[in-house]
Amino acid sequence: MDKVVAVVGASTDREKFSNKALRAFIAEGYKAIPINPNQIEVEGLKSYSSVLNVPYEIDIVTVYVQPNVALSLLSDFSEKGISEIWINPGAESEELLIAAKSKDLNVILACSIVGIGRSPDDF
């Protein structure tokens, strides 16, 4: 199976980076899962309200929500055993990074679209 990436905060707005990320990961061959409790589906994919509701393992999570929201999700990421957590520009805060480190989460502070070798401008 392809690597599974959960896009937290995936939006139906194709101009938002969270939507571009979903499409970029799909274009790179990942199995992309939208995580957004306010959407039934994003880009034709079933959206889950939480990573804990995804019925299989998640390899990577890429975060596109406000830092205070992301802070409340760290325990879910830890419980799910996600090995890589990408915190994208605008989603970071010092408090979030300290909390993630205290949970021994592998956090990458960078744009996940660029991280997979794509440009947000392509989407």
- pLDDT tens-place string over residues 43-93: 999 999 999 999 999 999 999 999 999 999 999 999 999 999 999 999 999
pLDDT at residue 111 tops 90: yes
Residue 30 sits in a domain whose CATH number is 3.40.50.720
Burial of 64 (0-12, 13-18, 19+ CB in 10 A): buried
Burial of 29 (0-12, 13-18, 19+ CB in 10 A): exposed
pLDDT at residue number 26 = 97
Give the domain extent around 43.
4-122
Number of domains in the chain: 1
pLDDT at residue 1 tops 90: no
For strands 107-109 and 45-46, give the pairing.
unpaired
What percent of the chain is modeled with pLDDT above 90? 98
For 117, the token pair is: 């070798």
pLDDT at residue number 2 = 86
How far is the CA of 97 from the CAs of 54, 63, 68, in angstroms?
Answer: 24, 12, 11
Note the pTM of the prediction, 2 decimals.
Answer: 0.96
